[in-house]
């Protein structure tokens, strides 16, 4: 989203008084969201297919730009475990921008693996907070 879009959201109450401007800006943002959802859905299907075809255990990490209730998350996490659900706490907010705080960055892994110590680090490096976790394979010893 552009700087103008963020400005629009932060000044939403002021712009609501000018109904024409409010309506135009709202439609513009909604069109951008719609296009982004469509693009991400297609990409999620492609990645999910690659995950299914992999002969190896998988770990998927990334910025999905979508919440845990989204199609993208549901498609990408099919058959995988979510490290935050296994070992995280709270809401797991990973987005640090001006919009309401959501969990949009994920670490997913093969269900035969185990995650522990999921952590989100609040550092102002970008509009996302970094996430980390320990992933182990039961029955495999840690190297010394």
Q: How much is the pTM?
A: 0.74
Please calculate the CA angle 138-141-143 and round it to the nearest 5 degrees. 140
Better-scored residue on pLDDT, 116 or 22: 116
Residue 141 in any domain: the answer is: no
Whether 67 is in a domain gets the answer yes
Cα angle: 127, vertex 11, 65; to 5 degrees: 30
pLDDT above 70 for 110:
yes
Instruction: Read off the pLDDT of each residue in 105-113 and give the average, rounded to a whole number.
Output: 96
Per-residue pLDDT band for 141 (boundaries 50, 70, 90) equals low
Asked, for residue 100, whether it belongs to a domain, the answer is yes
pLDDT at 111 over 90: yes
- CA-wise closest residue to 9 among 135, 134, 97: 97
84 burial via Cβ count (<10 Å: 0-12, 13-18, 19+)? buried
Mean pLDDT (the chain, rounded): 83
From 63, 116, 62, select the one nearest 87 (Cα to Cα): 116
For the residues 137-143, what does the mean pLDDT come to?
Answer: 73
Nearest CA to 91 among 103, 81, 100? Answer: 103
Host domain of residue 75: 3-136
Has residue 144 been placed in a domain? Answer: no
| Domains of the chain: total | 1
- For the segment 121-141, the average pLDDT, to the nearest whole number, is 88
* CA distance linking residue 104 with residue 30, whole number of Å: 19
The domain spanning residue 126 has which CATH number?
3.60.10.10
Residue at 12 is within a domain: yes
Are the beta carbons of 106 and 64 closer than 8 angstroms? yes
Whole-angstrom Cα distance, residue 44 to residue 48? 6
């Amino acid at each position: 989203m552009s700087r103008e879009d963020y400005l629009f959201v932060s000044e939403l109450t002021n712009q609501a008084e000018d109904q024409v401007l409010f309506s135009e800006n709202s439609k513009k943002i909604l069109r951008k969201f719609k296009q982004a959802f469509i693009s991400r859905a297609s990409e999620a299907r492609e990645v999910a297919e690659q995950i299914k075809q992999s002969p190896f255990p998988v770990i998927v990490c990334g910025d999905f730009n979508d919440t845990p209730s989204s199609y993208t998350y549901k498609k990408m996490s099919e058959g995988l475990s979510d490290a935050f659900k296994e070992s995280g706490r709270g809401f797991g907010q990973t987005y640090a921008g001006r919009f309401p705080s959501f969990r949009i960055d994920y670490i997913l892994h093969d269900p035969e693996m185990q995650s522990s110590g999921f952590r989100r680090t609040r550092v102002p490096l970008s509009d996302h907070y970094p996430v980390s976790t320990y992933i182990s394979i039961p029955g495999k010893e840690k190297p010394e």
